[in-house]
Chain A
Amino acid sequence: DVKVTQSSRYLVKRTGEKVFLECVQDMDHENMFWYRQDPGLGLRLIYFSYDVKMKEKGDIPEGYSVSREKKERFSLILESASTNQTSMYLCASKLAGDRDEKLFFGSGTQLSVL
């Protein structure tokens, strides 16, 4: 069965801390995505990656960076966490060229920055 695993379900950090959110998929998908989901705003794309070592900014990349050293793993980094980064973070992956263009989502990480 298809699986996208996010390392933490809940995370509490302090302002200014460096935060790493990890995502691993076992489907050999080329494309991976990081979204944040906030009430009333829906899912907003932070970064996505076409393939290993390739990344593209999404709609709200400020304050974030990403790393994709291996195909199965896509990491989101908050260089210096701020309270406005408190949110639900969702990782997704997709097979390049998939006819249905289906995104497979992880279970999410609820990050609270105090």
Chain B
Amino acid sequence: QKEVEQNSGPLSVPEGAIASLNCTYSDRGSQSFFWYRQYSGKSPELIMSIYSNGDKEDGRFTAQLNKASQYVSLLIRDSQPSDSATYLCAVKGNGQNFVFGPGTRLSVLP
């Protein structure tokens, strides 16, 4: 059974700080990695995708991938209260099965 693990949180950071969200996965054949954000009562929306080892930056968000360690992370710089949400890590192999982690709840305190 392919697994994706995340710390459920809540992770609390002060406004303006860097939030660091982590994810590990079990399937070494995974090729694509994603971070989705889900506000309370809403559906998930894609914020980052990453496919190769290293860092990928998009605005205040940086995704980091280390395939050898089977580890994906998301950094949110200058965290804002509007970033408060649950962040879902997802991985995909060759097929169409996206495997999601349970999510980490982030709370950014004003």
Contact = CB atoms under 8 A, between A and B. Distances in A.
Contact of B88 (A42, A101, A106): A42
A42 B43 contact: no
A62 to B, nearest CB: 14
Nearest to B102: A42
A90 B97 contact: no
Interface stretch (A14-22, A43-51, A66-74, A78-86): A43-51
A114 interface: no
Given A40-B8, A101-B32, A101-B49, A107 B97 contact: no
A43 B8 contact: no
Interface string A44-66: 11001010000010110000000
B92 interface: yes
A1 interface: no
Contacts of A41: 102
Contacts of A90: 43-44
A103 B96 contact: no
B25 interface: no
Contact of A40 (B42, B44, B46, B102): B102
A45 B100 CA distance: 9
Nearest to A41: B102
12 contacts: A31-B96, A33-B96, A40-B8, A40-B102, A42-B103, A45-B99, A56-B95, A100-B49, A101-B49, A102-B49, A105-B43, A108-B43
What are the 8 A-B residue pairs with the smallest beta carbon separation, nearest first?
Answer: A105-B43, A42-B102, A43-B100, A42-B100, A102-B46, A100-B49, A105-B44, A42-B101
